[in-house]
């Protein structure tokens, strides 16, 4: 992937420390003023960034927050880790937050669309649904994550589990950990019931944040035996767990894209703003997602330190 520094995007990139309608900190001399009197245009308005509650989404949101700060923005982080997609969607649409990283396949499914394994199609379909809500979907990452069902090796061996359909016959015998929004999520409860005949309302079920340290800890200590984790989750490798194959291919291609309120974009230089975030997104491949997740969830590093180190290592700051 190409290297990007905050002062350059291809030939140029205007650093956003200037007017809401221009990319630079331009100055003008008003009529009647001394030539030595300069009036500096105001900085961009504070951007309120949010994210879903799990670690991977939180650290990607922090990466976006820091690159915007490096380009002259003030960032309100109160919404990072806000909760489930239901919560963050409502916050975005209401203006409680201005932007969040979205897993575009799952986001599309949540809005009633039909996600595919093609992120370009998912992005276009998501944009079609978000336009009426005043939201723009920016460029997506080459890295993808999917929702994964994971078991300990002993459980896989005991019940001969290699794929999701193997769970159908033994679902009631197992303790499940699924995402907090699973009951209303078509790619979770809907997919399990429609494609695998597993009714989540009949399970021994604990609802936890998907892809979270809490979900991984519950699987590790035996509180649950089937866990919904991110496919990029390094704890799967660290613990020698078995990621079951979604043999009915129910889970969407989940590249990540910032989704932003149009009323916020109207106050700034939209082209330069997109260029900043698209350049960062273009460097986030699947290995990067897995590594960022590992540093936060497994190595227990501070999320701001992880984001800052990655941006510096990739020439953004």
Query: Of 243, 266, 294, which one is at a domain's C-terminal end?
Result: 243
User: How many folded domains does the chain comprise?
Assistant: 2
Tens digits of pLDDT across the chain (317 residues): 333 333 333 333 333 333 333 333 333 333 333 333 333 467 899 999 999 998 999 999 999 999 999 999 999 999 999 999 999 999 999 999 999 999 999 999 999 999 988 999 999 999 999 999 999 999 999 999 989 999 999 999 999 999 999 999 999 999 999 999 999 998 899 999 999 999 999 999 999 988 888 999 999 999 999 999 989 988 898 999 999 999 998 988 899 999 999 999 999 999 999 999 999 999 999 889 989 999 998 899 999 999 999 999 999 99
Query: Of 209, 243, 277, which one is at a domain's C-terminal end?
Result: 243
Q: ∠ CA(130), CA(132), CA(133), 5° rounding? A: 65
**Quick one: three-class SS letters along 254-281?**
EEEEEEEEHHHHCCCCHHHHHHHHHHHH
Does residue 152 share a domain with residue 120? no
Tokens of 39: 């009036």
Which pLDDT score is estimated for 41?
63
Does residue 210 share a domain with residue 156? yes
- Domain range for 172: 147-243
Does residue 166 share a domain with residue 260? no
Tokens of 181: 């929004």
């Amino acid at each position: 992937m190409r290297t990007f520094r905050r002062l350059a995007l291809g030939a140029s990139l205007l650093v956003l420390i200037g007017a809401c309608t221009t990319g630079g900190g331009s100055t003008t001399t008003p009529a009647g003023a001394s030539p030595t009197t300069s009036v500096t245009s105001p900085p961009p308005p504070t951007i309120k960034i949010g994210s879903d509650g799990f670690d991977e989404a939180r650290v990607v949101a922090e990466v976006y927050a820091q690159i915007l700060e490096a380009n002259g923005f003030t960032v309100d982080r109160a919404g990072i880790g806000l909760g489930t997609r239901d919560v963050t969607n409502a916050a975005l649409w209401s203006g409680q937050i201005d932007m969040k990283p979205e897993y575009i396949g799952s986001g599309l499914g949540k809005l009633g669309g039909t996600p595919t394994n093609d992120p370009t199609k998912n992005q276009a379909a998501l944009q079609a649904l978000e336009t009426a809500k005043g939201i723009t979907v920016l460029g997506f990452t080459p890295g993808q994550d999917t929702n994964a069902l994971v078991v300990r090796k002993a459980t896989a061996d005991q019940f001969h589990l290699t794929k999701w359909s193997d769970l159908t016959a033994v679902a009631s015998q197992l303790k499940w950990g699924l995402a907090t929004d699973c009951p209303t999520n078509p790619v979770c409860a809907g997919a399990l019931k429609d494609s695998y005949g597993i009714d989540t309302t009949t399970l021994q079920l604990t609802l936890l944040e998907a892809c979270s340290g809490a979900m991984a800890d519950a699987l590790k200590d035996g509180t649950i035996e089937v866990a919904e984790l991110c496919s990029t989750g390094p704890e799967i490798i660290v613990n020698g767990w078995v990621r079951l194959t979604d043999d009915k291919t129910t889970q969407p291609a989940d590249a990540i894209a910032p989704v932003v309120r149009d009323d916020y974009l109207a106050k700034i230089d939209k082209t330069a703003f997109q260029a900043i975030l698209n350049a960062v997104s273009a460097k986030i491949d699947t290995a990067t997602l897995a590594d960022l997740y590992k540093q936060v969830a497994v190595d227990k590093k501070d999320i701001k330190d992880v984001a800052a180190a990655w941006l510096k290592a990739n020439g953004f700051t």
